[in-house]
Amino acid sequence: MPIEPRESYKAEFELRRRDVETASGKVSISYVVCAPLEDAGFLNAFSTRAGGVSPLPSGSLNLAEFNGDTAENVLENRRCFLSAINAERANLITARQTHSTDRYRIESRTQPGNVGPDCDAMTTRLTGVMLGIQTADCLPILIGDTKTKTMAAVHAGWRGTAGRITERTVADLIQGYGVDPRNCIAALGPAACVECYEVGQDVIGLYKKEFGYWRNLIVNVQENGKAHLDITSANVQQLAFCGFSPDRIHVAPYCTMHQNDLFFSYRRENSSRPLGVGRLLSVISLR
């Protein structure tokens, strides 16, 4: 049994829906917003799978390029998503994510092709820039500093979390931008929950070695050597360790695997989708 029930987190998220016009008719786009982050002046949204033009299966809102979908579909899906969240003109920057702990500071509004270099977290204080993280079960984290208006977007899977990518990104905010973590708001988006996220001996061993508090993260150890990883608790812990106020760490009450009808799940779908699994997009920018 999970020792940190999800109900223990503050859940201040809204599922919203908007119709968007396309060449072939109206599509209905659903997305999740962290209200406290929005109230602090940060436009933010976590996408769902519904309402796009990708065949994953038909009508899917795949928001990242991979070899199972066309660039044209992704472009149209991104247009629809950005339109739904009132950010048609946003300069969206996404990264080539590699499950690393590499971070990148965005200092120009004109990144080539709107793609950052290979990295798994981005930071910026630029207005007119939207940071985007692509996931399907991994945890997307959006951070906004209420004082300096600095932003971060983090991709935290089991590998990046073990490498403390969230702690490293907050360190970048402190050292590179003069941010005080006590002024920051964090929104942890839809990801695979602890009940669904099964891991093997390699991951269990890594977490035992890396975290003194691993018993809070690796739970439900079974006789076959498998266990469950609480990727959300792990990153809540890292934010708290960095000085985030617990009441400013907001966890979306959604699981990509439990709610596979609403979200893409790599773990749930990978073996059954010949074209591959679509990707969700989590975005943050200054309003």
d(CA 202, CA 79): 40
Minimum CB–partner distance for residue 282 and Zn ion (Å): 18
Closest CA to 148 of 122, 121, 172, 183: 183
Minimum CB–partner distance for residue 148 and Zn ion (Å): 35
Q: Are 161 and 122 in contact (CB under 8 A)?
A: no
- Choice between 144 and 190, CB closer to Zn ion: 190
Q: Are 61 and 54 in contact (CB under 8 A)?
A: yes
Q: What angle do CA 118, 193, 164 make, to 5 degrees?
A: 40
- Choice between 197 and 207, CB closer to Zn ion: 197
- Choice between 131 and 196, CB closer to Zn ion: 196
- Choice between 235 and 285, CB closer to Zn ion: 235
d(CA 267, CA 271): 8
- Choice between 167 and 195, CB closer to Zn ion: 195
Minimum CB–partner distance for residue 196 and Zn ion (Å): 3
Q: Are 123 and 163 in contact (CB under 8 A)?
A: no
Minimum CB–partner distance for residue 132 and Zn ion (Å): 24
Minimum CB–partner distance for residue 198 and Zn ion (Å): 11
Amino acid at 258: H
d(CA 76, CA 250): 30
List CB contacts of 54: < 8 A, sequence separation 6 or more.
60, 61, 62, 69, 73, 74, 77, 278
- Choice between 3 and 75, CB closer to Zn ion: 3
Q: Which residue has the tokens 């602090």?
A: 40
- Choice between 41 and 200, CB closer to Zn ion: 200
d(CA 71, CA 59): 16
What's the order of all strands across the beta sheet hosting 198-199? 198-199, 227-229, 218-219
Q: Which residue has the tokens 């207005």?
A: 127
Q: Strand, coil or helix: what is 181?
A: helix
List CB contacts of 257: < 8 A, sequence separation 6 or more.
137, 192, 193, 196, 197, 265, 267, 268
- Choice between 8 and 108, CB closer to Zn ion: 8
Minimum CB–partner distance for residue 193 and Zn ion (Å): 3
Residues contributing to the site for Zn ion (CB under 5 A): 193, 195-196, 255, 257-258
Minimum CB–partner distance for residue 41 and Zn ion (Å): 32
Minimum CB–partner distance for residue 267 and Zn ion (Å): 10
